[in-house]
Amino acid sequence: MITKRIIPCLDVRDGRVVKGVNFEGLRDVNSPVALAEYYTENGADELVFYDITASAEGRGLFTDILRETASKVFIPLTVGGGINTLDDFDRVLKCGADKVSVNSGAIKNPALIGEAAKRYGDQCVVLSVDIKRVDGEFRVFARGGRDDTGMEALGWIERCVDAGAGEVVVNSIDTDGVKGGFDLEMLEAVCARVSVPVVASGGAGCAADFIALFERVPRVSAALAASIFHFGEVRIPELKQTLAGNGINVRL
């Protein structure tokens, strides 16, 4: 049976990982390539690189490190951040990305997902959504969770999946950074609406949160987290052992 995936996410600015990562034996703690290799050797099932660069020069550095990572790391790589056009898809896919995650780019241009899916296949197009509860409904937020788009989230996700998104990353703004657990209610609602894989993001603080996620929302395919992995609060090999011990199918 297919395993639940554990996915560390690296924020990259100007070709360097932001927020120093502290691991023993890792000499350059801000090198995306070194970190990608470290995580690959330590149980990550997939990696997400999120480009938070603002400048064109930084963008070039990002594709350089992406190319170098893809030449050394042989697990799936998803790239997000600043994906607004088909040219952006092309730029990162040529450098070794397997999947491309679209967030604000799809809000600005709703045709982007359909066009990308047609050209590169559904499996390549990941919809990433930042969601927050507003007035009793799930609302889509843009620009890294800063702007309320006024759009209802479940309908938005359904439209994007119909247009060709092959996977959905649900990032709950309500639970993000709180470390009180994933947003099970929100994830349940999304899983009930779509039949493509759903990736949970936002809120993990400890291994028990991952157990609760996969036990209580079994349709969720994967869990994504950043700082708890980077700061060693949760170590992926131990997390996977714990999950396996609780009857959750993972790749050990």
Partner 1 sequence: MTAIIDYGVGNLFSLKCSLAAIGEQSLVTGEKEEILRADRVILPGVGAFADAYKKLCDTGMDAAVYAAADAGKPLLGICLGMQLLFERSYEYGEHRGLGLLKGEVVGMTGRVPAGLDIPQIGWNALRKTKDSRILANTPEGAHVYFVHSYYAEGCGDSLAATTEYGLELTAAVERDKVCGCQFHPEKSGRAGLDILRAFCAMEG
Strand, helix or coil at 57? helix
Contact letters (x/-) for partner 1, 78-117, by CB under 8 A? ---------------xxxx-x-------------------
Nearest-angstrom CA–CA distance, 231 and 204: 13
Q: How far is the CB of 80 from partner 1 (least distance, A)?
A: 16
Residue 170 interacting with partner 1 (CB under 8 A): no
Residue count (the chain): 252
- Is 130 in the active site? yes
Q: How far apart are CA 196 and CA 161, in angstroms?
A: 8
- In this chain, which stretch among 15-23, 120-128, 141-149, 171-179 interacts with partner 1, using CB under 8 A? 120-128
Angle at 35 between CA 121 and CA 87, to 5 degrees: 30
Q: Alpha helices of the chain — where are they, by DSSP H?
A: 32-41, 56-70, 86-94, 104-108, 111-120, 153-163, 184-193, 207-216, 227-230, 236-245
| 144 contributes a contact to partner 1 by CB under 8 A | no
121 interacts with partner 1 by CB under 8 A: yes
Tracing tokens 């993001």 back to the chain, one arrives at 201
How many of the chain's residues bind partner 1 (CB under 8 A)?
33
For position 72 contacting partner 1 by CB under 8 A, the verdict is yes
CA distance from start to end of the chain: 14
Q: Return the number of the residue (68 or 233) whose C-beta is nearest partner 1.
A: 68
**C-beta of residue 175 within 8 angstroms of C-beta of residue 200:** no
Q: Which of residues 5-64 bind partner 1 (CB under 8 A)?
A: 5, 40, 45
Does 178 help bind partner 1 (rule: CB under 8 A)?
no
* 122: annotated active-site residue: no
CA 31 to chain centre: 19
**Residue 77 or 142 with smaller CB distance to partner 1:** 77
Among the listed residues 11, 45, 88, 176, the single catalytic one is: 11
Give the closest residue to 51 by CA, choosing from 100, 2, 115: 100
- Shortest distance, CB of residue 167 to partner 1, whole angstroms? 6
Q: Where does this chain bind partner 1 (CB under 8 A)?
A: 1-3, 5, 40, 45, 67, 70-72, 74-76, 93-96, 98, 120-124, 166-167, 195-198, 219, 221-222, 251
Task: Give catalytic residues, as residue numbers.
Answer: 11, 130
